[in-house]
C-alpha cells in the first residue's frame, strides 16, 4: 500500500513523439503551456532534466511543479497529445500531424516506497550543461538504473554529485511509483477505465488543431477554442471541465 504525506509535489515528463523536429517543437510548446499555467497558480517550477534541439524544440524534459492543488489539477494531463498544424520549418504550407507524450508523476520522495540499494546501478559522467569548468570537467552527473525494473533516471543540472544523486533518486522513485499506481488502478478501477480510458501514453487523449483553432479532448468529447491563448498557459477552463467529468 502506498501512503502520501503531500499531493502537491509532482514531476512532469514530456517527450517528443512522432513527427521529427515538429514533435520536439510541440514538446517545447507543451512545457511552456504547463509552466506558464503553474506560474499563474503561484506554483514553483524547477527543471530537472532537459534535452533541447537547436530550433527551439525539446526531445524531452523533466520538471517539478510544487504548489497547493498541483496534482489534483494536472493529474488528467498524462497521455499522448497530438498537434495538427503547418510547422515553422514547412515551406509548402502543408499541415503535419505530430505527437508528444506527457506523464504526470507524484514525487517519489513524498511516498513510502522502498528501494533496495543493492538493486541500483550507478554510472557517473561529466555534465554537458551550463555551470562552468567545474561542471564540465568533473564527474558530477549521475545515471541510476533500477536493475529489476529497468527504470533509469539521470540528473546533471545540479552543481555537485550529491545533489544530482538526490534528484535522480527522486525521479526514479516517481517512475516506480507510477508503475505501482498503474497496477493498483487496473485492479481497482477496471470498470471506470473501460468508460473513460486509462490515460496511458499509448492513448491519444487530446488533439491541438491549429488551422481550426480548436483543441479536442477525446476522453470527454469536448472541444475548446482560442488555441493561442490556451498554449500561453490559459488552461483553467479545460482543467476544470476535466476535473468535473473525470472525477
What pLDDT is attached to residue 194? 39
What pLDDT is attached to residue 109? 47
Which CATH number goes with the domain that contains 123?
Answer: 3.30.160.20
Closest CA to 38 of 46, 28, 49: 46
Coil, strand, or helix at residue 143?
A: strand
Q: Are residues 103 and 207 in the same domain?
A: yes
Q: Are residues 101 and 124 in the same domain?
A: no
Residue 1 belongs to some domain of the structure: no
Per-chain mean pLDDT for the chain: 82
Q: Which residue has the higher pLDDT, 10 or 31?
A: 31
Question: How far is 21 from 25, CA to CA, in rounded Å?
Answer: 6
What pLDDT is attached to residue 139? 72
Q: Which residue has the higher pLDDT, 157 or 16?
A: 16
99-108, pLDDT tens digit by residue? Answer: 999 988 876 5
Residue 226 belongs to some domain of the structure: yes
Q: Are residues 60 and 38 in the same domain?
A: yes
Q: Give 156's pLDDT tier (boundaries 50, 70, 90).
A: confident
What pLDDT is attached to residue 136? 52
- DSSP H helical ranges for the chain: 20-40, 70-74, 132-137, 161-188, 190-196, 227-231, 236-246
What pLDDT is attached to residue 42? 94
Q: Are residues 46 and 98 in the same domain?
A: yes
54-91, pLDDT tens digit by residue? Answer: 888 999 999 999 999 898 899 999 889 999 999 877 77
Residue 2 belongs to some domain of the structure: no
Q: Which residue has the higher pLDDT, 80 or 127?
A: 80
Q: Are residues 83 and 199 in the same domain?
A: yes
Question: How far is 247 from 243, CA to CA, in rounded Å?
Answer: 5
Q: Which residue has the higher pLDDT, 3 or 40?
A: 40
What pLDDT is attached to residue 112? 55
What pLDDT is attached to residue 110? 47
For 208, the grid coordinates are 491541438
Q: Give 129's pLDDT tier (boundaries 50, 70, 90).
A: low
Residue 69 belongs to some domain of the structure: yes
Question: How far is 77 from 38, CA to CA, in rounded Å?
Answer: 13
What pLDDT is attached to residue 138? 67
Range of the domain at 234: 9-111+191-246
The percent helix, strand, coil of the chain (3-state, each to 5) is 35, 30, 30
Q: Give 132's pLDDT tier (boundaries 50, 70, 90).
A: very low
Amino acid at each position: 500500500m502506498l501512503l502520501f504525506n503531500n499531493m502537491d509535489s509532482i514531476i512532469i515528463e514530456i517527450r517528443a513523439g512522432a513527427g521529427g523536429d515538429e514533435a520536439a517543437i510541440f514538446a517545447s510548446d507543451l512545457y511552456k503551456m504547463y509552466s506558464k499555467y503553474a506560474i499563474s497558480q503561484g506554483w514553483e517550477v524547477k527543471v530537472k532534466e532537459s534535452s533541447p534541439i537547436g530550433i527551439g524544440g525539446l526531445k524531452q524534459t523533466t520538471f517539478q511543479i510544487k504548489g497547493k492543488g498541483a496534482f489534483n489539477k494536472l493529474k488528467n494531463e498524462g497521455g499522448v497529445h497530438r498537434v495538427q498544424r503547418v510547422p515553422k520549418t514547412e515551406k509548402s504550407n502543408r499541415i503535419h500531424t505530430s505527437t508528444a507524450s506527457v506523464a504526470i508523476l507524484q514525487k517519489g520522495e513524498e511516498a513510502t516506497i522502498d528501494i533496495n540499494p543493492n538493486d541500483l546501478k550507478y554510472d557517473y559522467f561529466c555534465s554537458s550543461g551550463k555551470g562552468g569548468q567545474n561542471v564540465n570537467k568533473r564527474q558530477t552527473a549521475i545515471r541510476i538504473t533500477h536493475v529489476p525494473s529497468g527504470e533509469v533516471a539521470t540528473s546533471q543540472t545540479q552543481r555537485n554529485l550529491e545533489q544530482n544523486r538526490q534528484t535522480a533518486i527522486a525521479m526514479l522513485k516517481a517512475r516506480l511509483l507510477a508503475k505501482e499506481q498503474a497496477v493498483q488502478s487496473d485492479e481497482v478501477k477496471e470498470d471506470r477505465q473501460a468508460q473513460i480510458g486509462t490515460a496511458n501514453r499509448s492513448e491519444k487523449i487530446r488533439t491541438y488543431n491549429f488551422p481550426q483553432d480548436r483543441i479536442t479532448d477525446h476522453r470527454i468529447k469536448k472541444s475548446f477554442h482560442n488555441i493561442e491563448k490556451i498554449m500561453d498557459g490559459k488552461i483553467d477552463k479545460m482543467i476544470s471541465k476535466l476535473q468535473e467529468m473525470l472525477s
